[in-house]
Amino acid sequence: MPDVGKDPDIGKASDTGTDERGTDRLGEQESPSESPSLLASVAGFGVTFKAMFKKRLTEQYPEYKKPTAPRFHGRHQLNRHPDGLEKCIGCELCAWACPADAIYVEGADNTDEERYSPGERYGRVYQINYLRCILCGLCIEACPTRALTMTNEYELADRTRESLIYTKEELLAGLEEGMVDTPHAIYPGATEDDYYLGKITEVAPGTVRQVAVSKGELPASQRPAAGTADSPEGVEA
């Protein structure tokens, strides 16, 4: 008489179930599609074999510098009007548009005695942190006066963090022939719109540089006489 109280298959793992530890046996088996294929290995090394027979390209930098594209996104530049006045109006739109928060701008008001731009305001402080800048160009698209553009200069590496924070003096374009350095008076009879419409093409005759009082300069009448102890010429080395 068979023993009905004891099943001989109890405790044995089924072929499609789990074993005594609850491990899925089918999951341990490698499906045919996941097994490595010899053809796939050869195809993967095909890229390596192709590169082995290609001519090696060595850039002779810095002896030879490869020319960049005309619209290359390099170091920024603050531009001037043809008479030397600055195009930046201190609106801070470039700082708001920067996704890396790399631009810092402080605007200030122009006066008739100390004018840096044709409009009411100018950029008193302008800094770009090239440790953060990603050279995306969104700042120049946001600039309403085309004061900020990007040059083809890409050599921005340096030894200190401080030297990679460019100030306004480092970003401002140099003076071309016929320009007068800021601050100086606006072209007589011209308006701010005349500058942005391109009607001002040169500096007005007789234009001279004004005293930059905001930068600590003193009028000629208040400057120490040459040769005294308070003047730079009178200080001995």
Number of Cα atoms under 13 Å in the Cβ half of residue 109 = 3
Mean pLDDT is lowest, of 31-40, 131-140, 188-197, for 31-40
Q: Are 214 and 108 in contact (CB under 8 A)?
A: yes
Cis peptide before 62 (omega within 30 of 0): yes
Whole-structure pTM value: 0.70
- Look at residue 135 and tell me whether its pLDDT is greater than 70: yes
The rounded mean pLDDT for the chain is 84
SS3 48: helix
Element (H, E) at 108: strand 103-109
- pLDDT, residue 76, reads 97
Instruction: Give the other-Cβ count within 10 Å of 212's Cβ.
Output: 14
Two tokens at 171?
A: 């970003």
Two tokens at 83?
A: 């008479």
* Full strand arrangement of the beta sheet holding 103-109: 103-109, 121-129, 165-166
Please, which pLDDT band fits residue 237 given cuts at 50, 70 and 90?
Answer: very low
End-to-end CA distance of the chain: 122
Q: What is the mean pLDDT of residues 148-156?
A: 94
- Look at residue 42 and tell me whether its pLDDT is greater than 90: no
- pLDDT, residue 228, reads 62
From residue 170, how far is each of 79, 126, 163 by CA, in Å?
A: 12, 10, 11
Percent of the chain, pLDDT > 70? 79
- pLDDT, residue 230, reads 58
What is the rounded CA–CA span in Å between residue 122 and residue 59?
43
Task: Name 147's bridge partners.
Answer: none
- Look at residue 229 and tell me whether its pLDDT is greater than 80: no
- pLDDT, residue 7, reads 54
Q: 65 versus 78: which is more confidently predicted?
A: 78
b/e for 52-76, b at 16 or more Cβ within 10 A? eeeeeeeeeeeeeeeeeeeeebebb
- pLDDT, residue 34, reads 53
What is the rounded CA–CA span in Å between residue 123 and residue 158?
26
71-208 is classed CATH 3.40.50.300: no
The domains of the chain are located at 71-208
